[in-house]
Each structure stands twice: as structure tokens, then as C-alpha cells.
A and B are shown apart, each in its own frame.
Chain A
């Protein structure tokens, strides 16, 4: 388990057994898949696989969040640094990823076409906003920041993340960095979360018409939206506020450090600065994250929840009703945490609270 999450769990006196198991599972899977990918690329491309192709592989989702289980799928992208001289290399990288996926018996990337394809670095960094920033483009970009890890070429991957963060910070005052909340980045993260929530309703519309949305089941999507996806958003919001709350210059280095951590450790790090009621709320949030990870790793739970097509029916399965109630509790605990007006500790600035910033940046 990530050191920050472990430290927070010990400090808050909460047990996170499911997240511990998931971290072990993830580590084994990343090791295995990384080995399979490297071996395949070396076999097919020789030394060119290291620097000669301008391509690399990035994994997303539970693998990047360190929350994998036996049921996890494997979402990846082939990232092209520039125009690829030999397009057959793209196929080779996709084959490497597919070979890796099959080796851990993971399901194929979802049918939405978001993953399992090739994307270009300049598009990810420069096309933010306006018409050409499509739903897929925005999703890939924000997930790259929030929950991704490299499967090959870690230096190229790190350069991409740094370039993306620099893009978000580009328009601030030149010279010495100051302590700010980077509103452009906040807005893109908030925008993505709202897009996910709106798209959820669009997919629901298909189901109301009697059609499945690309094979996904409503009940599971509903629970995931209100648990893991919400937690990822909360963790990203927490990360972009932190430099300002700590009174530190908001540099690309500091934000990069933040987004190198998986979402839950980024949220958990607040145990260093919170006090009283907000600290208790953080403990409750982490315990709930553990509960959802445990349930979502169980085949039977997923099947039962997937079978639900309407939230309001009285005879919905107990597993669904329990999970629904837990999502409501999670909402309350997140509100208790993020709207806390208790002063922060650990050398943080004294003139504002987490509640002040939440009010300011999540309302107007």
C-alpha cells in the first residue's frame, strides 16, 4: 500500500484491509504486465523499443489507482510523441499491451473507444477547451493526470505529465512562482467530473429507451460514479488546493509530485493538516473507500449490483441497497471534510480553511 495511505491509516486508527490486498494485487499485475510488454517489444523491435519509435504505453484506471482486483479490466493508450515514421510500430505497441492484458486474464478495454488506441502528445497538451477538445480528448487528458502510470518509457511519460501541468500554469504571472490555487487546472478537473456525471445521465437515456449502453450495466455504473469516481475527483480537488493551503509556491514540481501519487493517498495526505471533526471525516472516507474496493472486487457483488436497472424499486437486491446507502454516507463525509471551517495544522496558512476554498472554487 502507498506509504502515505499506510501512514494515514495508522495515524487515524483505521483499518484498510481491502486496499492493502488491492495494492499487493496491483503491484503483482504491474510487474507481470510490465515484463510481458518489455519482452514483447524487445523481441519485436530490439533496441528501437527504447527510444527509436517515439511511442510508449500508459495504463489507466484501477491499475494506476493501485486498486486492482481479480475483476479489474486493463485500460491503456499508446502515446505517440510525434508523427510515427513507421505506423507498424503502433500495431506492435498495441499488440504488446494486448499480450500484457491477456497474461493477467483482464478484460478488454471498454467499448467506448476511449482506450486501447493511439493518441498524440501535442493533442493532449494543447487542445484544452473549445470545439476540438472532445469528450474523449478531455477524458484522456484528465485521467492521464488523475490516474495513469507508464508501462514503458517512464521518462517520456513524466515529460508529458510535466508538459501538461506547465500548460495549466502557463498564463500565470511570470517570475517567481506565487502561492495560488491554479484555477485553470481546477476548472478542467471540475469540468471533467461534471462531464462524467452528465454522461452518466446520457447513458441512462439509452437504457430508458430499452437499450444497453455499449454493454455497461446501469447498477454498477451508478455505484462506481458515486464511490470510486467521486473519490478520484475529491482527491484531485484536494491536490490542487494543497500548495495554497500550505502557503507554498504553486510550482509545476509541486503539482507533479501530487499527481504522481494515486488518488486515495493524495486525499489521505490531508491527515497531516486536518484537526477535529474534519480529521474524523477523513478517516470515515478512507474506510468507505476500503469498503467499496472490497465489494467491487467481488464477482457476486458486481453481478448482483449490475442486475439493478432502477434505483427506486423496493425489491432491489440487498447488496445494491447497502452500497447505495454507503454512497450517501460517503457524500455526507466528503461534505464534512471539504466544508470544514476548522483551522488547518502542520504549518498551513491561518487565513483560510478547506471550507473557504471549497466554497470559493466549487461554487462561483
Chain B
């Protein structure tokens, strides 16, 4: 599904928003410090992520994947 990652569509936005919501829920459960370690971010990086209302799909995929969330197959880029 490389087209999905290349061009923003309503479907892409929906998937990104779903992954963002799930990721934030995980971060809130495990705490900022643990999330920072899992995401290879500093604390401010995690806070910056959480403060953004929308994530691009590629970012949503990377974050969700690093947090161990099961990502829908259509989101996974061909190189992953």
C-alpha cells in the first residue's frame, strides 16, 4: 500500500488519528519516562507528540509500532 503513505487521504487521516489515540492511551498508561525510552525520545519529545492533534501517518505508524500496538496491515510501509 505505498500509495497510502504517499498521498494524504481521508482514509489515511482516519488511520493516523486512530493510531494516535491508541498510542496516547498507551503512553498515559506506562508513563512519560517509559514511553520516552521505548520511543527513543526525550521527555519533551513525548510531550510534544502528545500535544499535537494530528500525526502524519508515517509518524503514527512508527510511534504505534514502537509502543507495541498492533498496526493495521494497510498502514505498514513496504520497507518495514
Q: Residues of A at under 8 Å CB distance from B? A: 25, 28-29, 32-33, 35-36, 69-71, 102-106, 299-300, 303
Contacts and interface: CB of A to CB of B under 8 A. Distances in A.
Contacts of A71: 48, 51-52
A103 B54 contact: no
B45 A103 contact: yes
Given A70-B47, A70-B48, A105 B41 contact: yes
Contacts of B48: 70-71, 104-106
B42 A36 contact: yes
A103 B40 contact: yes
Nearest to B52: A299
A104 B41 contact: yes
28 contacts: A28-B43, A28-B44, A29-B44, A32-B43, A32-B44, A32-B45, A33-B42, A35-B42, A70-B47, A70-B48, A70-B50, A71-B48, A71-B51, A102-B40, A102-B41, A104-B41, A104-B45, A104-B48, A105-B45, A105-B46, A105-B49, A106-B45, A106-B48, A299-B51, A299-B53, A299-B54, A300-B53, A303-B53
Taking residues whose C-beta sits less than 8 angstroms from the other chain, chain B's interface range is 10 to 19
Interface of B: 40-54
B52 A104 contact: no
A132 to B, nearest CB: 38
B17 to A, nearest CB: 12
B41 A103 contact: yes
The binding surface of chain A is classed by DSSP as: helix
A102 B49 CA distance: 11
A60 B22 CA distance: 34
A104 B44 contact: yes
Nearest to A29: B44
A361 B45 CA distance: 43
Contacts of A106: 45, 48
A224 to B, nearest CB: 18
Contacts of B41: 102-105
A96 to B, nearest CB: 14
Contacts of A29: 44
A322 to B, nearest CB: 19
Contacts of B51: 69-71, 299
Nearest to A26: B44
B7 to A, nearest CB: 13
Contacts of B53: 299-300, 303
Best-surrounded residue of B43, B48, B51, B54 (most CB of chain A within 10 A): B48
A303 B47 CA distance: 19
B54 to A, nearest CB: 7
A103 B52 contact: no
The 7 closest A-B pairs by CB, nearest first: A70-B51, A32-B42, A299-B53, A105-B45, A70-B48, A104-B45, A28-B44
